[in-house]
Structure 1
Amino acid sequence: MSAWPKDPKQTALALLSLLLAALHLALVTESGVGRSLLTVDALYAACIASTTLLALSGWRQEKRSGNGGLGWYALGMGALLLAELWMLQYELPGRSIPEISVADPLYFLSYLGIAATLLRFHGLRGWSAEAWGALLDSLVVVVLVGELAWIAFLADALASPDSWVQATLNLTYVGTDLLLLTLTLLTLRRRFSLPLSLFGVGVVGFVVADLLYLNLEVHKQYVAGTPLDALWTWGTVFQGIGIVWAWHTRAWELPQETTEQLATRRQDRMLRVVPYLAMVVSCVLLVKTPFWPGLQGKQTELWSVALFAVVMLRQAVSFWEGDELQTELLRRTHQLRYQALHDALTGLHNRAAFEDELASALTPPVREPFVLLYLDLDGFKPINDQLGHAAGDEALRWVANRLRATLPPKSFIARLGGDEFTVLWRGSTAEAEALAERVRTALSQPMTLDAATAQIAASVGVVTVEAGTEHHPDHLWREADQAMYRVKRAAQATAQAESSAEADPKRAAPET
């Protein structure tokens, strides 16, 4: 479980916020509330102040660590605090709340701060199929919430507004609430960590409180100092604690452990069901419209069409996701197959690939003749010992490149391991010795390794297989190995003879 930060100041501010929220809840739920509205609102402002200080404390820490994410939230909470302090004056005797005030742009600024924070934490990378799918899933829910808000109060507020200014404000508040809901669903869709979930619950509490307030206000039924106000208070506290906790634990990062990934996938599947539940609710509203007077004239048909369009887009994106997944699986399958059949150092085929190729070439009866070359490098060990293993690796890559450049295009070249290579070439066996000589000549050229010049040689065993014959792969391997060692021993004998001749010229001179 993610640990709460050990900073004592942040712990104290979190506890203070919870205490103030509890006191606020006690006030708004006690009987006779309404006679102390100034106290209730002042307590809410105190909750916002403690949450703002908590966000600022986390922001100062993140500035020192170089991470980002809390600055916008601290700005939003600061704007919310100023708005609430401004609104306190209207609780004084003889003051009435104006249609629009300085507090309204401050409220909108606080919403933008929360939105910017959610944009920082939703974690989607670019406009991939996954990103579009998550966005459309969120929009399905948001469209349903918009439909419910429209049916409950927004249609009536816009149909016969007391003031176009107030109607515009109400519409803007609903729009910002739906934006926050969309971003919250995107964030929770990515990972259901406890810190982010707490932050999301706080934002959703804020949105629900706003929509309920607007519904009551439009119908002239809102009464200040009721339990509805506690949704704003606890929403603020949950946001502040959740966001600082999430920042401390880096909770927005994707889980790395397999068990956590599986848990995240299960939660993701649960969230995928939500859009379809929203569609069911919208269909019920559509069916009930002719029989429910409260729904008539509320354009439920248009909302249902809009919701259906979003769901259809989501289905199209699901097909896109499936295609992307299939393409990625094919790419990884090809990559794994390549890695399984190729040598990582040289890029040549490996032993397993060569054994498969040889078995295919020897399928009885042999369909076409081929030449098998078995190479062992002479002089490679001193390179490793004197110049180091990095130089040895570079020498092996040099050998691989020389073989590719020297041999015919259809040659099957493989590194068996160490300094042993094999070549299978389908063609006339009459050219076997010429092919082996080309390899020996190519590999005897000097090479530059780490500013040093080195030279190797190759002992090449040659085995030919004619068409129409039958051979066992193991026997052919043995023949090639024996042929290579015959060449190696012959080369060693020649070298020893030349060395003896240089050491004793008289013994090397022919008799007269």
Structure 2
Amino acid sequence: MSWYRNRTRWMAVFAGYIAVLHIGATLELATPLVWLSLQCVIPAFAWLLLRHVARRSEGSYRTFWHLISTGCLFYFLALLVWSYYEGFARIDPPVPSLADALWNAQTVLFIAAICYLMAKERSVYQGVKVAIDAFIILIVVAAVMWEYFMEPNLGMMLSERDWAAISSVAVYPVSDLVIVFCLLFIGYAYRGLFAPRVQGFLTAGLLLFVCGDVFFMAGFAGGADTDGWADVSYAAAMFALASAGMYALGGRPGGVSERHRSGWGENLRYLLPYGVAAVLLVLPITQPGEERIESLVANGVIVSLIMLRQAFVMMENRALLRGTSRLLRETDYLANHDTLTGLPNRMHFEKALAEALETAPSSRIAVLFFDLDRFKYINDSYGHDVGDALLRQVADRMKVEAEGKHIVSRRGGDEFTVLLQGMRSDAEIGEWTERFLRCLAKPIEWSTHELLTGASAGIAVYPQDARLPAGLLKKADAAMYKAKAHGGGRYCFFTEELDRSFARTAALEHSLRRALDRGEFVLHYQPMYETVSGRMIGAEALLRWQRKNGALVSPAEFIPLAEETGLIVGIGEWAIREACRFAKLWLDACSEPFEISVNVSPVQFRQPDFAKRTMDVLRETGVPPEALVLEITESLTRDDEAIRKLEFFKRQGIHISLDDFGTGYSSLSDLHHLPVDALKIAQNFTKDMLSNEKQCRIVKAIVALAKSLDLVIVAEGVETEEQFLFMHRLGCDIIQGYYFSKPMPEEELLAKSGRSAS
């Protein structure tokens, strides 16, 4: 219904309608019945349109537009009744008639719509105040109407003795004034009920309706010929109400928005009922020396209403104060507590720790830092709902175990901290820590699942480890990581050695962040040989960190740190690009097939753009996809998104090798579904397979499994001729290890094969 937005066209149609209606009736171009029928067009259209608007509206606005549309319907029906008398019966309509009843009902509906919306969109107390204000206005209007209109003409009205006619006509000015005052309320005390354009048309429509009543009353009382202007005003009123409804469809409000108000409009909101009531104080002055019983009664009622209104103001203020206090308490609680578990949060804990250090500087205080051992696995396997339920039960257990003596908080994720005060010895601190670890090690029942999760804990003690809250938390966190590195399910105290190790790790991380830019990373290549022919078919690229001073940093030391900090993403991409560059150099020098194998970290592999970046490297270096082998760990085979990424690489021709097979968590029943080309037997198995019967059986089982699945078998860590001959007899396809060659720079590898780097 976007057609209503063309305001010029819409106004032109209405102007043409009014011109035809008014000029045609004046010049008597058709019968009166035709013009009476034309007068019904706009009210009927307004009723149907506003009925549609009501159905499309929500909340209290639906009821508002239903009342307005019903009022338009009553006006339409009143016109039909009036048309019957003048057009068909050809008599003057009686006063009162059914038309008067319908018109009065229409006015009541308009007033009810405005009052309903004002009361509905405010609180109970404000609704009561609106009702009291309305009563005050009605009483003042009634008193003024009695004083200046009805009482001076009381004799004439009584002589007519047509009470029904007098009552039906006298209702119009009273109801019209009520509408005007309601519009003032909407304009100054209830701004924001409607969009400005909607409110403008609504106000114009109701005011035009009042103007129509004024023209009608003037003709009724004085005999003046104002019927034409009354008809035009009524038609314009219906048109304006219909326009308000149409603009409301374009952007329906969802409720009252309190906008900033200032100046006399804001003051009018509070002074309007009292200012109207002050009108009655002027009446006795205008009639000095006369008994004005009516004014005294009206003043007494108004004073009572004002006192009642003030009582409700006081009740509202008290309710607001209670609500504000409750809101402040809730805000303070939310600011200091974790929303999931209800435990004190990080800010609350750090504040309590600082207060404990200030109030008891000589006492022994310990900070326990807990981290759940298997939470990530449970959260990924069962979903976040189960993970949240687990955290809530962990929090409940820790609160019960603390016995109200110590502060337990959730720091974030699966990390919890405990503040122990008044401890006498490290042994007592250890006993409390063991209590928490034991309660967390018990199975947690969830639906049909039994969840097993333990925790690792780190301990920092005041004042020996640190004297500030930040230092205690940092060192307890470092001790927790040491406990987790030792297998989890235990606790560790912070020690000076741990402090030195922590400092070394921090220094190593600092150097690691700059190593890539400084060009300190190099690749060494370990050849891979075909078992049957002894021919070199490829090489594995192994990352090395060689500092500017020539010192080599062990991969076992810096690769876990790179994965933890996320630096492995950039380092890994560099390694793939450098390995592909070397593979291209090899392929250009020799026409024989050659594969370059590159280890891919799970952190790097899970990057959303890893597949795109890998394909970009192949295009930039010119290496065919079948020359690249990506070596992944078994942990990735439990990730659906990772498997989809592996399937993509498989379709592109890139080979996938499952590295260190047998040391991870892959399911043998799912292995035949995985998009892999090769299994790489872990060095741990090949190293002791000839001296350890169990290791030997494992190797034989892995080879048999791979053969049954038509997968290539790669044995790494082969160092002796006996190991090589054993793997040869088992049917292993590719051998890699010191028996043939150690990892070497690319120049040595090229020279070893009779080729030069040039």
Give the alignment's TM-score, normalised by structure 1.
0.74
2:438 is matched with: 441
For the residue of structure 1 that corresponds to 2:222, the secondary structure is: coil
Q: Distance in 1 between matches of 2:489 and 2:119?
A: 70
Matched, 1:51 2:51: no
Select which of 469, 476, 497 maps to 1:473. 469
8 A Cα contact 1:17 1:51, kept in partner: no
Q: Distance in 1 between matches of 2:13 and 2:2?
A: 16
Structure 2 unaligned segments of length 5 or more: list them. 491-662, 664-683, 694-758
Q: After TM superposition, give the deviation of residue 245 of structure 1 in Å.
A: 3.2
8 A Cα contact 2:368 2:419, kept in partner: yes
Q: Distance in 1 between matches of 2:136 and 2:224?
A: 32
1:324 is matched with: 319
Q: Distance in 1 between matches of 2:93 and 2:290?
A: 32
Q: After TM superposition, give the deviation of residue 299 of structure 1 in Å.
A: 2.9
8 A Cα contact 2:85 2:92, kept in partner: yes
1:107 is matched with: 103
Select which of 452, 455, 459 maps to 2:452. 455
Select which of 149, 155, 166 maps to 1:153. 149
Q: After TM superposition, give the deviation of residue 423 of structure 1 in Å.
A: 1.0
Aligned residue pairs total 481
Higher strand residue share: 2
8 A Cα contact 2:366 2:460, kept in partner: yes
For the residue of structure 1 that corresponds to 2:94, the secondary structure is: coil
Select which of 172, 195, 198 maps to 1:195. 198
**Alpha-carbon displacement from aligned partner over 1:383-438 (angstroms, at most 9, x marks no partner):** 24444444433332221121122221242111122322111244554643332221
Give the alignment's TM-score, normalised by structure 2.
0.53
Equivalent residue runs for 1:292-307 within 5 Å: 292=287, 297=292, 299-307=294-302
Structure 2 letter corresponding to 1:102: L
Matched, 1:360 2:347: no
Q: After TM superposition, give the deviation of residue 184 of structure 1 in Å.
A: 4.9
Equivalent residue runs for 1:275-314 within 5 Å: 276-277=271-272, 279-280=274-275, 282-283=277-278, 286-287=281-282, 289-292=284-287, 297=292, 299-314=294-309
8 A Cα contact 1:123 1:187, kept in partner: no
Matched, 1:423 2:386: no
8 A Cα contact 1:52 1:240, kept in partner: no
1:245 is matched with: 247
8 A Cα contact 2:64 2:116, kept in partner: yes
Q: Distance in 1 between matches of 2:111 and 2:275?
A: 29
Structure 1 letter corresponding to 2:43: T
Higher helix residue share: 1
Q: After TM superposition, give the deviation of residue 14 of structure 1 in Å.
A: 6.7
2:236 is matched with: 234
Structure 2 letter corresponding to 1:266: R
Structure 1 letter corresponding to 2:42: S
Sequence identity percentage: 24
Q: After TM superposition, give the deviation of residue 238 of structure 1 in Å.
A: 2.2
For the residue of structure 2 that corresponds to 1:363, the secondary structure is: helix
1:510 is matched with: none
Q: Higher relative contact order by CA 8 Å / sep ≥ 6: 1 or 2?
A: 1
Equivalent residue runs for 1:94-133 within 5 Å: 95-115=91-111, 117-118=113-114, 121-122=117-118, 124-125=120-121, 128-133=124-129
**Alpha-carbon displacement from aligned partner over 1:36-62 (angstroms, at most 9, x marks no partner):** 8x9999867734432322331453576
Q: Distance in 1 between matches of 2:451 and 2:77?
A: 78
For the residue of structure 1 that corresponds to 2:261, the secondary structure is: helix
Matched, 1:165 2:164: yes
Q: After TM superposition, give the deviation of residue 149 of structure 1 in Å.
A: 2.3
For the residue of structure 2 that corresponds to 1:366, the secondary structure is: coil
Matched, 1:83 2:85: no
Q: Which moved more, 1:4-13 or 1:378-387?
A: 4-13
Q: Distance in 1 between matches of 2:121 and 2:279?
A: 36
Q: After TM superposition, give the deviation of residue 84 of structure 1 in Å.
A: 3.1
For the residue of structure 1 that corresponds to 2:282, the secondary structure is: helix
Change beyond 3 A, Cα 1:350–1:274: closer
**Alpha-carbon displacement from aligned partner over 1:8-61 (angstroms, at most 9, x marks no partner):** 999988754444446777899xxxx9x98x999986773443232233145357
Q: Distance in 1 between matches of 2:291 and 2:236?
A: 36
1:225 is matched with: 226
Q: Which moved more, 1:63-72 or 1:148-157?
A: 63-72
CA RMSD of aligned residues (A): 4.8
Equivalent residue runs for 1:383-394 within 5 Å: 383-394=378-389
Q: Distance in 1 between matches of 2:278 and 2:115?
A: 31
Q: Which moved more, 1:288-297 or 1:274-283?
A: 288-297
Structure 2 letter corresponding to 1:416: R
1:509 is matched with: none
Q: After TM superposition, give the deviation of residue 358 of structure 1 in Å.
A: 0.1
Structure 2 letter corresponding to 1:196: Q
8 A Cα contact 2:72 2:106, kept in partner: yes
**Alpha-carbon displacement from aligned partner over 1:226-280 (angstroms, at most 9, x marks no partner):** 686254443333223323433x235453267xxxx42xx4289826505625644
For the residue of structure 1 that corresponds to 2:371, the secondary structure is: strand
**Alpha-carbon displacement from aligned partner over 1:450-486 (angstroms, at most 9, x marks no partner):** 74433222223345559xx994324433553455455
Indicate the structure (1 or 2) with the bigger Cα radius of gyration: 2
Structure 1 letter corresponding to 2:165: Q
8 A Cα contact 2:46 2:239, kept in partner: no
1:6 is matched with: 3
Q: After TM superposition, give the deviation of residue 152 of structure 1 in Å.
A: 2.7
Structure 1 unaligned segments of length 5 or more: list them. 507-512
Select which of 260, 268, 277 maps to 1:273. 268
Structure 1 letter corresponding to 2:443: P
Structure 2 letter corresponding to 1:406: E
Q: Distance in 2 between matches of 1:124 and 1:269?
A: 25
For the residue of structure 2 that corresponds to 1:376, the secondary structure is: strand
Q: Distance in 1 between matches of 2:304 and 2:351?
A: 53
Q: Distance in 1 between matches of 2:142 and 2:313?
A: 24
Change beyond 3 A, Cα 1:382–1:505: farther
Structure 2 letter corresponding to 1:165: A
Equivalent residue runs for 1:62-81 within 5 Å: 70-81=65-76
2:714 is matched with: none
